[in-house]
A and B are shown apart, each in its own frame.
Chain A
Amino acid sequence: MLGNSLTGFNNIDTIVVGGGHAGVEAALAAARTGCKVLLITMNKQTIGRMSCNPSIGGLAKGQMVREIDALGGAMGKAADITGTQFKLLNKSKGRAVWSPRAQVDKREYEKHIHKTVTSHNNITVVEGEVVSPIIKKGRAAGVTMSNQDKIISKSVVLTNGTFLNGLIHIGDKKIPAGRMGEVRSEGITESLSSLGFKHGRLKTGTPPRLNRETINWSILDIITGDEKPAPFSHFHSLFNPPNTPSHSVNTNERVHNIIWENINRSPMYSGEILGVGPRYCPSIEDKINRFKERNAHRLICEPEWKNSDQIYLNGFSTSLPEKIQLEALQKIKGFESVSLIKPGYAIEYDYFFPNQLKTTLETKTYKNLYLAGQINGTSGYEEAAIQGLIAGANAGLFCLGLGPITLSRSDAYGGVLIDDLITKSTPEPYRMFTSRAENRLILRFTNANKRLSLKAFSSMLINKKQHNTMQEQTKEVMALIKYCDKTITTTQANPILKKINEKEITQKTKLKELIKRPSVSLEMFVSMKTKKLKVRQPYVDEVVLEADTEIKYSGYIRRINKQTKKILNNEALLLNSEIKYDNISGLSKEAQEKLNKSKPENMGQAMKISGVTISDAAVLSVYISKKQRVSRET
């Protein structure tokens, strides 16, 4: 017996610790599989709180929110309902990297999520502080609370990693987190360490919050959202969000000079922490350093909620001393007499090396114990949410005795995220970028349904109706593509081509061939009204866009699929966790050490570990096939 079990909490399947974005999706996902879930949070009021920027989505993250939605998650729908302005980003850079983003009302968002969680039949929410998971015979069996109460469960998901042992830096000033209004979790680092988990420390930054009254709004540039907004969720029957304008300012050389002169006083300055490389930390210090030739950067003033006094200055993440921040900001047109409600700052916190996890986000050492969110070293709501969803789903599926759900790199940005986390030890907060996904040409926001609905359905994360809705949309896309196989005559095509200054055709041509031209689009030739699509707005536009893209990129898509298949063949080779790598002669010392430490599950993961060369991989694959041969013979 495990001491006195907390009354009223019997027969719990899954305990989720923490009510942030990871915790919310974890609890909901486990609940969707049919499990009884107990969500333990330090403060019920903060469930689903957006502690930083008042927006959801953005580059690569927008695609991820779509994936969360396709997997039945809550984030997309909540953002759609509480969004104040919607915009597709990266329109100038190619359609596969177009990313939806929404400005949201933080307070409304939080309210909506709170309701979603607390109204779910399978979820019980309780306030309390968890100090440690209970481990019995190498398995998680519940949690111990700070008052020594024990709650028993079949699986445990820890998502309580928001700024573990947080320490704030503003210039050379250091403040333990908590005083800045951030939640600070303590205690869990120690208990996980004592279970043998290794941890490290990370830094991340935020921009300052400005006082609304002190900005000269009348001279700022106005930004409006898209006229035809794209929703995050696949399941609306109506989508008609507001298009609240936001305002932008530009930095200038005087601003840059002040920052440049004081750059050494910024503990976040990536030049020291990260070194160079394509992946970067988007602080203003870093931007100025990287784009020396550019004399202005655009900053966006985002109200945190309706009529909020507090303005989030997007694009100006910094950890310079408060005085310097103010001095620099006041050189901006419109900010001449600006004052700060909260300065920008860097925060340092603990995280657990995520290479101690499996693709399911279960820990390698203890069964039924899952880790998700900032505790794994990621930053951002979306990154946390997708991990929470996968961890929670697996914690639930386990309780039901069902197989796990995993995402691969060619399935989803979420798959890239988890794979990167567990195979690469990046010593920086992990933020999703499109450049992290080698398959980004096929990971589009318009095809998350096609990529994930079957997976979601077979893991009970969505119901039959949701599955059908997504399938229907995929079918419509395929029908449109098929339709474009038909030929079009010169008299039909040329007037349209002429209008857009495109080279006219001299003979009958397949519609597909015309659409492959960069500046020709499907819409020009197919009237959706006459085509009578089965899907309705807001999804008509994305069906058309998706079909257009599939046609335009068909050559690329074919090449990528071929490459992926080839890689998967090899990557799928399983590596038993019992393998003693130091006994394999031919492996380099470095590879032996790293493989022993991270115990990859398959060849694909092994190849990605830095320090494991192709020749190591060759040695490994020979070793594995030899072993398989031997075990077959005996």
Chain B
Amino acid sequence: MPLGDTIVARSTPYGYGGIAVVRLSGVNSIKILKKISRQIKTPVSRVAQKTKIYHKKNILDETIVVCYTKPRSFTGEDMVEISCHGSPFIVDGIINECIDLGARSAGPGEFTRRAFENGKIDLIQAESIANTIAASSKAGLFNAISGLGGEMSNAIKGTASDITELLSYCEHLLDVSDVDIQKDNKLYISKKTSEINKKVLKLIENYDTCRVLTYGAIVVLAGKTNSGKSTLFNALVGNKRSIVNKTAGTTRDYVDANISISGVPIRLVDTAGVRRSKSAIESAGIDNSIMLIEKADVVCLVRDVSVKDDTYVVDIIKLKNDNIIYINNKSDLIKKVGYKKKKDLYMYISAINQTGISSLKRAILQQLNVEKIPNKLSGVSTPRQYECIADCIKSLANTNNKIKNGFQLELICYELENALRSVNSLLGVETEDLVLNNMFNSFCVGK
């Protein structure tokens, strides 16, 4: 990906809207603006100016533009933001005009990537921008914003400098020949290591909550066909999305909907159901179900109280996921079939009568660990961040092991170095390009 050339993209959602914003960034941004506007001869940085924009002799739109000269811009390069009217024809027209004048259509996250690469933001802040856009809940948004403000970055920078300091101490000890390691050195190193460990653990303490609030959770309805999953799905969604049928195996693929339980964003998935089947199409659906069950944050295992159990189904689901809510559906039929309520894991609902639904909702929140959302939340929220911290914790555990086990100082240093590398890669200080590409590609274009 060539860097430093001029890129252009719309940075507001696609479609009709009141106002759309087209962004340009790179060396030629201002030159291109001058050409397409004709009116602006000497643009003033950070001042909104009204101008017409032309395609050949025709006026495309009447717009407001703001120029930002480098380095005082979001990307750290020369930038132009054009606020035009929201019709796709106008927006595409302006973008095409820019492309004709040498700009290139921006890839996903390229603006943010440039901001990162020009040192305007660190990696955590870059991710926060992605999260702000993606955040599906208010609390998640708060977390994203606190990341953007650098609160998380600061906490992590603090940890990085703690580790650096301890590492320096150890390195120094290695390189002083006339001093043997003494008890006070050992105590110091061991104490510092556990202090750092405690701080690092704090960063992921709220990981599940943050992640769920930012990205939403996946809740999958699973169980034997005909147990009432689709009925329950409709009850939770609030309207009829899934087909309900008496013949087992009606839902051949999955159906999903975005719902919100007490502000927590949830992607609810209704599956084909698990059962022993001979039909090829249906078993394809069942394979899909199993994949979804694996991916789920919570699985609602639905059972029909009015029929005999098939432990095969329960076993398969248990094998694929540990976060299961056990549900006995059709509780309205209990009396009729002479079923005895047992005191076990199962909760009783009637999907058709919509009884027990609110306690099910509560159980889902509980299983997701978000029943009480702290009003100020901060911590890591993306899998990449989590992985870095987990690596760091692993290295710290190894450090501790080497402290307790023979106290091999050179190995202690090696582990601490790895811990430091993990934390630094969290901030993008030494992250390899691959990781970077990966991360920025998940952005939407124009950010």
A interface, CB within 8 angstroms of B: 58-60, 89-90, 92-97, 99, 101, 277-280, 282, 287, 290-291, 293-294, 297-300, 314-315, 433-435, 438, 440-441, 518-519, 556, 585-586, 588, 613-615, 618-619, 621-622, 626
Contact = CB atoms under 8 A, between A and B. Distances in A.
A614 B430 contact: yes
B171 A435 contact: yes
Interface in B156-208: 167-169, 171-181, 184
Given A97-B410, A440-B410, A626 B178 contact: no
B27 interface: yes
B172 A434 contact: no
Contact of A300 (B173, B178, B433): B178
Interface in B320-377: none
A94 B408 contact: yes
B177 A89 contact: yes
Interface in B398-447: 405-406, 408-411, 413-414, 417, 428-431, 433, 436
Contacts of A94: 408-411
A441 B413 CA distance: 10
A618 B433 contact: yes
Interface in B11-31: 27
Contact of B174 (A290, A434, A614, A621): A434
Interface stretch (B2-10, B100-108, B382-390): B2-10
A101 B178 CA distance: 12
A435 B171 CA distance: 6
Nearest to B2: A622
B184 A618 contact: no
B172 to A, nearest CB: 5
A518 B401 CA distance: 12
Contacts of A89: 177
Given A278-B171, A435-B171, A556-B411, A619 B177 contact: no
Contacts of A93: 173-174, 181, 408-410
28 contacts: A59-B174, A89-B177, A90-B174, A90-B177, A92-B409, A93-B173, A93-B410, A95-B408, A97-B174, A277-B168, A278-B169, A279-B175, A280-B175, A297-B178, A314-B178, A433-B171, A435-B174, A586-B3, A586-B117, A588-B118, A588-B119, A615-B116, A615-B117, A615-B118, A615-B119, A618-B117, A619-B3, A622-B2
Contacts, number: 108
Given A433-B175, A434-B174, A619 B433 contact: no
A518 B177 contact: no
B105 to A, nearest CB: 18
B389 to A, nearest CB: 20
Given A97-B174, A315-B178, A434-B175, A441 B5 contact: no
Contacts of A280: 172, 175
Contact of B405 (A59, A299, A300, A518): A518
Given A60-B175, A435-B174, A614-B433, 16 more contacts: A89-B177, A93-B409, A95-B408, A97-B174, A278-B167, A278-B175, A279-B175, A294-B179, A297-B178, A297-B179, A314-B178, A518-B406, A518-B408, A588-B119, A614-B430, A622-B3
B2 A92 contact: no
Given A278-B172, A280-B172, A622-B3, A298 B410 contact: no
B1 interface: yes
Contacts of B1: 622
Given A94-B408, A585-B27, A441 B181 contact: no
A379 to B, nearest CB: 14
A588 B3 CA distance: 12
A92 B181 contact: yes
Given A93-B409, A94-B410, A614-B430, A278 B4 contact: no
Contacts of B408: 93-95, 518
Closest A-B pairs by Cβ, 3 of them: A586-B4, A518-B406, A94-B410
Most buried by A among B5, B179, B406: B179
A293 B187 CA distance: 13
A438 B167 CA distance: 13
A158 B273 CA distance: 81
A605 B386 CA distance: 32
A8 B168 CA distance: 56
A89 B411 CA distance: 17
Interface string B132-168: 0000000000000000000000000000000000011
Interface in B100-129: 116-119
B394 to A, nearest CB: 13
Contacts of B184: 293
Interface string B221-240: 00000000000000000000
A480 B417 CA distance: 31
B417 to A, nearest CB: 8
Most buried by B among A95, A314, A315, A614: A614
A298 B173 CA distance: 14
A440 B181 CA distance: 19
